[in-house]
């Protein structure tokens, strides 16, 4: 049985560079896989931005390596935290740039979260399953209600799957906090954009980056 909180006897000068290297390797792999899915839908959306976004994410590698070591130490929980943070980073970047949350990444994150909690990692398995189901259904019902009342699409299915993934990782109890933080942050950003003319009335913007950022914040806040 894998215990995520088992402490490894590895000093920080060794483990932090390893974490940073894992981040950078995983970053380019996930970025490539994500943008390949975007190209299948709208080829022009992914033109020339994959490499730029990948190299920009490399800068965060050492910082994330230090952050997960500082909070979780040299443990399997640190590796799992690095993994979920990496997925959320890539999803946030792709959604912000293209407006898509590839199923390959969101659904993989759901299953990885359930596996991480198989023996009560970040949440009990029952809480993780309920979190995944409730996370998807909650946003899906809101999306369907919006379509029914306005005839227009608001939230995408990718947002539903992303919240399901966050529920799978952190459990049902974490969802209200994550949703509230993401909604409040998104509203503030939208208001600033509206006042500065970067967002027009009725214009949509991606909610995924706010969900992803809120998930990373919850990870480091709740388990610190």
195-210: pLDDT as tens digits: 887 777 666 778 999 9
pLDDT tens sequence across 121-172: 999 999 999 999 999 999 999 888 877 877 666 677 899 999 999 999 999 9
Q: Quick check: 212 and 92 in contact, CB under 8 A?
A: yes
- Give pTM, 2 decimals: 0.92
Rounded Cα distance between 82 and 51, Å, is 21
Q: Quick check: 202 and 71 in contact, CB under 8 A?
A: no
Token code pair at residue 111: 């299953």
Q: What is the DSSP letter of 11?
A: -
pLDDT at 194: 79
How many other CB atoms sit within 10 Å of the CB of residue 5? 12
pLDDT tens sequence across 64-73: 999 999 999 9
Q: Kindly list the distances between the CA atom of residue 89 and the CA atoms of 34, 60, 64, 125, in Å, as whole numbers in the listed order.
A: 12, 10, 11, 24
């Amino acid at each position: 049985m894998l215990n995520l909180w088992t402490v490894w006897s590895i000093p920080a000068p060794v483990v932090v560079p390893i974490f940073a290297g894992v981040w950078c390797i995983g970053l380019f792999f996930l970025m490539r896989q994500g943008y390949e899915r975007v190209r299948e839908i709208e080829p022009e959306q992914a033109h020339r931005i994959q490499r730029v976004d990948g190299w920009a994410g490399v800068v965060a590698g050492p910082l994330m390596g230090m952050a997960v070591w500082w909070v979780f130490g040299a443990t399997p929980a640190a590796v799992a935290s690095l993994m979920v943070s990496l997925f959320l980073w890539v999803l946030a970047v792709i959604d912000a740039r293209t407006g898509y949350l590839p199923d390959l990444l969101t659904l993989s994150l759901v299953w990885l979260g359930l596996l991480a909690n198989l023996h009560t990692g970040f949440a009990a398995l029952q809480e993780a399953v309920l979190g995944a189901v409730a996370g998807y259904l909650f946003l899906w019902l809101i999306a369907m209600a919006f379509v029914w009342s306005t005839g227009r699409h608001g939230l995408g299915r990718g947002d539903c799957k992303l919240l399901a993934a966050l529920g799978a990782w952190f459990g049902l109890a974490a969802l209200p906090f994550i949703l509230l933080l993401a909604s409040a942050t998104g509203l503030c950003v939208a208001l600033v954009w509206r006042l500065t003319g970067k967002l027009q009335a009725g214009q949509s913007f991606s909610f995924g980056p706010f969900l992803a950022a809120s998930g990373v914040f919850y990870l480091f806040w709740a388990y610190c």
